[in-house]
Amino acid sequence: MLTFFLKRLLGLLPTLAIVAVLVFLFVHMLPGDPARLAAGQDADQQTVELVRAELGLDRSLPEQFGRYFLNMARGDVGVSIRTRRPVATEIGERFMPTLLLTLTSMAWAVAFGLVIGIVSAVYRNEWPDRLGMTLAVSGISFPAFALGMLLMQIFSVGLGWLPTVGAGSWKHYILPSLTLGAAVAAVMARFTRASFVEVLGEDFVRTARAKGLKERVVIAKHCLRNALIPVVTMMGLQFGFLLGGSIVVEAVFNWPGVGRLLVDSVNQRDYPVIQALVLMFSLEFILINLVVDLLYGLINPTIRYK
Amino acid sequence: MSETALTATAAVASVPSGVRTPWSEFWRKFRRQHVAVLALAFVVVLVALAILAPWIAPYDAENFFDYDRINEGPSFAHWLGVDPLGRDILSRILLGGRISLATGFLSVAIGGLVGTVLGLLAGYYEGWWDRIVMRLSDVLFAFPGILLALGVVAILGSSLVNVVVAVSVFSVPAFARLVRGNTLVLKRATYVEAARSIGASDRTILLRHILPGTVSSIVVYFTMRLGTSIITAASLSFLGMGAQPPTPEWGAMLNDARADMVSSPHVAIFPSLAIFLTVLAFNLLGDGLRDALDPKLDRA
């Protein structure tokens, strides 16, 4: 298990390296001069040159790449052009609200998705299935920003039950996490149903029923575990979707997270922050896939880690 | 089953009734799914509305301002009401449909084309080329779509054209993987071996024997991808990084409506409904096509 883990971790390095190089080249792909951008519109040539030297942009490309890598290894990802504060501090302050939001959404999504998916599979082609799958296909089709605005209009403005924007208390989490989780719940429900329907047709399920087990036991003990294997993989992929979705949802609910930071940085062309955030998002996604691989083994004992 | 799907359209006219062609088989299976048929009809209407939008829209979507009815709800003069600037919402939604359908279709078409070519070559030749393509796909996959799109917009600037580029880029790896997988299976099929043994060139084998075999899964995936792409493009415009005001793009319209959500919710509701129904139609159509063409394709 441990060797497998280490091997997988090593296997991630090439992917991570490519991402890092791409992110590094990012600044050099930009139209215009990043030094001039950093110095501001009205800066004279001398100031621009000063800023260029300060950012290290006057050195050769390989030299810059080396410095970029060394700095990154030391945890120094630069200074925000917009706020003049270290990027690490900026991201650090915004990281937890986003992480909590993503995790809450995932919890909703898994709970709703599994229940709807299993119920739909068990009552296949009956009304619970039709209802569940109608909900699911609607969930995939409703854009998160529209859903967020709708929920806010109903529950915050209309009924006044929940706060509109910000992240102060647990009540603030309800609407954004539901908004963010809806599409993932829908995908999970469809996927769980498909996987469950397949397992329900297996011989061992018939055997379990034939030996007189209660239907509930057959479903909970014999089917669930087998049906969950593909679902867990799906969960990992959906995490990436949540990370992306959080960017939109945070904009709707004015959430003080990294998603909104990214949008603000793109709007203001704050390149050091964009660089660091893209790198962070990718790293997060790659790590989640690793965790999914490990979970996979816990659920499915037929996989041997070699 | 579908290796002749491409030529089937032409053949169907000359086939006497009662003979099963791939096309008639598909239609037989598709017709039974009433929801999907309904979705197809809706899509046809949408496309027609989008094409005819400039002629059927009751008002000028960008330059007509009805200052007496600002923020008014639906009425006979303005079926879907008026926005805070006095513009007719129905006209804006009709013209916005043109934009959403065009961005969605173009970006999936570009992404699908590039992805299909890469996938065919990677699956057929394998080796180092395959490894490079798949590694790049992995990397692109490692970026959530909208993040990738934001990156592209950050480099190229905010505009609709750049949104199309951004959304195409993130469609490429999905198509490349799908087609590569199919190609790996098909190139070992007996009929491909037969083609090779009579001296068919790689080009002929790829274009005439393997590509038609993957068409059904490409069509299914294409349809499903359209919904996602329309949402992504609208999301980018909603964030202010796609269509710029006063362009009547659905996502941008919702962004504009945010400020007046409390006093005039209809300004936000109708564009939301437009996006929802359009994407829903494509998703239902995709489900129907999948069940009729490619029952083994993933159900998610």
Asked whether residue A29 carries a pLDDT value surpassing 70, the answer given is: no
Lowest-confidence segment of A41-50, A183-192, B140-149 by average pLDDT: B140-149
The pLDDT value recorded for residue B184 is 86
Q: Does B142 touch chain A (CB under 8 A)?
A: yes
Of A19, A241, A251, the CB nearest to B139: A19
Among A residues 183-242, those touching chain B with beta carbons less than 8 Å apart:
187, 190-191, 193-194, 234, 240-241
pLDDT digit string (tens) for A292-303? 777 776 766 665
- B41 three-class SS: helix
User: Confidence class of residue B220 from pLDDT cuts 50, 70 and 90?
Assistant: confident
Q: Does B227 touch chain A (CB under 8 A)?
A: yes
Q: Does B173 touch chain A (CB under 8 A)?
A: no
The pLDDT value recorded for residue A21 is 81
User: Are A143 and B156 an interchain contact pair (Cβ–Cβ within 8 Å)?
Assistant: no
User: Are A26 and B235 an interchain contact pair (Cβ–Cβ within 8 Å)?
Assistant: no
The pLDDT value recorded for residue B116 is 93
B2-39 burial, b at 16+ Cβ within 10 Å, e below that, comes to bbebeebeeeeeeeeeeeebbbebbeebbeebeebeeb
User: Confidence class of residue B110 from pLDDT cuts 50, 70 and 90?
Assistant: very high
The pLDDT value recorded for residue B209 is 86
pLDDT digit string (tens) for A154-167? 887 777 777 777 76
Q: Is B125 exposed, middle or buried (0-12, 13-18, 19+ CB in 10 A)?
A: middle
Q: Of how many residues is chain B composed?
A: 300
Question: Which residues of chain A are within 8 Å of residue B154 when distances are taken between CB atoms?
Answer: 266, 269, 274
Virtual torsion, Cα B96, B102, B105, B107, nearest 10 deg: -100
Lowest-confidence segment of A175-179, A232-236, B125-129, B268-272 by average pLDDT: A232-236
Token couple for A115: 């229940």
Asked whether residue B8 carries a pLDDT value surpassing 70, the answer given is: no
The DSSP-derived string for B142-168 is: TS-HHHHHHHHHHHH-S-HHHHHHHHH
Question: Which residues of chain B are within 8 Å of residue A281 when distances are taken between CB atoms?
Answer: 143-144, 147
Higher pLDDT, B137 or A185: A185
Mean pLDDT of B285-296: 78
CA B129 to chain A, closest CA, distance in angstroms equals 17
User: Are B143 and A281 an interchain contact pair (Cβ–Cβ within 8 Å)?
Assistant: yes
Question: Among residues of chain A, what percentage have pLDDT more than 70?
Answer: 91
Q: Where is mean pLDDT largest: A58-62, A101-105, A173-177?
A: A101-105
Spatial neighbors of A72 by CB under 8 A, at least 6 apart, are: A20, A279
Calculate the alpha carbon distances from B281 to A129, A304, B237, B287 in Å: 20, 43, 21, 10
The pLDDT value recorded for residue A34 is 66
Give chain A's domains with CATH numbers: 2-73 (no CATH), 95-299 (1.10.3720.10)
Return the residue in B137, B239, B277 with the most chain A beta carbons within 10 A, the one to mutate for interface testing: B239
User: Are A193 and B283 an interchain contact pair (Cβ–Cβ within 8 Å)?
Assistant: no
Question: Is residue B248 within 8 Å of B271, Cβ to Cβ?
Answer: no
Lowest-confidence segment of A187-196, B134-143, B174-183, B245-254 by average pLDDT: B134-143
The pLDDT value recorded for residue B109 is 94
User: Confidence class of residue B112 from pLDDT cuts 50, 70 and 90?
Assistant: very high
The pLDDT value recorded for residue B167 is 86
pLDDT digit string (tens) for A203-262? 888 888 888 888 888 887 778 877 887 787 777 777 777 877 888 888 888 888 888 888
User: Are B142 and A262 an interchain contact pair (Cβ–Cβ within 8 Å)?
Assistant: no
User: Confidence class of residue B300 from pLDDT cuts 50, 70 and 90?
Assistant: very low
What Rg, from alpha-carbon coordinates, does chain B have?
22
Mean pLDDT of A133-140: 86
Which residue is associated with the tokens 């030299």?
Answer: A63
User: Confidence class of residue A28 from pLDDT cuts 50, 70 and 90?
Assistant: low
- B88 three-class SS: strand
The pLDDT value recorded for residue B295 is 56
Distance separating alpha carbons of residues A276 and A33, to the nearest angstrom: 19
User: Are B239 and A248 an interchain contact pair (Cβ–Cβ within 8 Å)?
Assistant: yes
Name the average pLDDT for chain A.
Answer: 79
The pLDDT value recorded for residue B169 is 85
Question: Is residue A184 within 8 Å of A242, Cβ to Cβ?
Answer: yes
User: Confidence class of residue A103 from pLDDT cuts 50, 70 and 90?
Assistant: confident
- Residue B244: phi, psi to the nearest 5? -100, 150
Distance separating alpha carbons of residues A231 and A300, to the nearest angstrom: 12
Among B residues 275-294, those touching chain A with beta carbons less than 8 Å apart:
275-276, 279-280, 283-284, 287
Q: Read off the DSSP letter of residue B244.
A: P
CA A50 to chain B, closest CA, distance in angstroms equals 24
Question: Among residues of chain B, what percentage have pLDDT more than 90?
Answer: 9
The pLDDT value recorded for residue B296 is 56
